[in-house]
Amino acid sequence: MNVGHIEHLVFVVGLSGAGKSTASRALSDAGFFAIDNLPVALLENFLLHSQDSVERYRKTSILLDIDSADQRAQFLRMLDQFGNESSNIHVMFLDCTTEQIIRRYSETRRPHPCFEQALDNTLAESIQRERSRLLPLKELAHFVLDTSDLNVHQLRRKIHEAIDSFVTEGNRSIRVNFVSFGFKFGAPPDLDLLVDVRFIPNPYFVAGLRKKTGKDQEVSQYVLAQPQSLEFLEKYGALLAFLIPQYAFEGKAYLRIGVGCTGGRHRSVTIAEALASRIAATEAVVSVLHRDIEK
């Protein structure tokens, strides 16, 4: 199947209630020709049609309607058929915790599509069933965005960061996302690696630093002045410099690294930024999310 005429083709997939429609609108705002809820059965016809208007479809995003096992299998076969042209194809998977999805559907009072179609006793069961069905797509995705703790504006920013990474740095082989967080709020789901930096002296107890964050210069200087911090960055940075190429060689497209402290506002923020700066010099596309910095 020929998609060489499309410079960037983004497939948006993921859990119902995770923000796929918001992601599609963000892609449209970024200049993509955005198509919502396209059945997989019509995908091949669309790609053939798009060859007649190359400039219009130069950047295209497709929010796919993948409800059945047959549709998922068909989409996976298509991805395999793209072969050597797959470098311009990006699969974006939107994920979310079950609790947050239930909360969102409760607030909007809209029915969850899987709960409407099944005989599950609870909405949580339907969400878990959908999560299991979509796992093969999540595993091959180039971007996995966990939207559990993101509002609409934060999600749009993350989408634009993802766009920037594959538009400007499309030749790089693996995407590394550092997530700072506070253990008091729970660890983010779906981390590949997690490091606890609570061994570093806490700026929270230093006069004048409590209300600041790890992105403020005073806090950053305090954290990075600690001998423990410098030794950790040297050793863990070296470990990541070894691990990331190994993951990339095995075909892993996305690596999510959690950096946790007590509240997620000081130490984890500074250390996540410092690690990201070190890794940015490698062949990875690096991004940082500070989940709890405003809590």
pLDDT, position 63: 95
Asked if 28 and 120 sit in the same domain, the reply is yes
Asked if 158 and 181 sit in the same domain, the reply is no
- The verdict on residue 295 lying in a domain is no
pLDDT, position 171: 46
- The verdict on residue 55 lying in a domain is yes
Q: From CA 20, how far away is CA 26, in angstroms rounded?
A: 10
Examine the fold and report which residue of 142, 171, 200 is the final residue of a domain before the chain moves on: 171
The total of other beta-carbon atoms located within 10 Å of residue 222's CB is: 23
The total of other beta-carbon atoms located within 10 Å of residue 91's CB is: 23
- 260: Cβ contacts below 8 Å, ≥ 6 apart: 180, 181, 182, 183, 187, 194, 195, 196, 197, 198, 268
Q: From CA 26, how far away is CA 58, in angstroms rounded?
A: 17
The total of other beta-carbon atoms located within 10 Å of residue 121's CB is: 9
Whether 244 contacts 254, CB under 8 Å:
no
Asked if 123 and 16 sit in the same domain, the reply is yes
Asked if 180 and 148 sit in the same domain, the reply is no
Asked if 28 and 156 sit in the same domain, the reply is yes
- The verdict on residue 2 lying in a domain is no
Per DSSP (E only), the strands in the chain are 8-14, 33-39, 59-65, 89-95, 143-146, 174-182, 193-196, 254-261, 284-290
pLDDT, position 224: 97
The total of other beta-carbon atoms located within 10 Å of residue 196's CB is: 15
Domain count, the chain: 2
Structure tokens at 127: 């969400």
- 225: Cβ contacts below 8 Å, ≥ 6 apart: none
- The verdict on residue 166 lying in a domain is yes
Q: From CA 282, how far away is CA 9, in angstroms rounded?
A: 25
169 DSSP 8-state letter: S
152 DSSP 8-state letter: H
DSSP three-state, residue 281:
coil
Q: From CA 293, how far away is CA 211, in angstroms rounded?
A: 11
Asked if 185 and 149 sit in the same domain, the reply is no
Per-block mean pLDDT, blocks of 10 residues, the chain (295 long): 76 93 90 91 88 84 86 86 69 93 81 61 84 89 89 87 67 78 92 96 93 94 96 96 84 86 96 92 80 89
Instruction: For residue 156, give the nearest of 8, 58, 30, 57 by alpha carbon.
Output: 30
pLDDT, position 251: 65
What is the tally of helices (H) and strands (E) in the chain? 10, 9
Q: Which domain holds residue 202?
A: 176-290
**One-letter amino acid of 113:** P
CA angle 55, 60, 66 (to 5 degrees): 150
The CATH number assigned to the domain holding 136 equals: 3.40.50.300
* DSSP track, 3-51: -TT-SEEEEEEE-TTSSHHHHHHHHHHTT-EEEEEEEGGGHHHHHHHHT
Instruction: For residue 216, give the nearest of 204, 201, 226, 199 by alpha carbon.
Output: 204
CA angle 165, 152, 97 (to 5 degrees): 90
173 DSSP 8-state letter: -
Asked if 156 and 257 sit in the same domain, the reply is no
- The verdict on residue 3 lying in a domain is no
Beta bridge partners, 182, equal 261
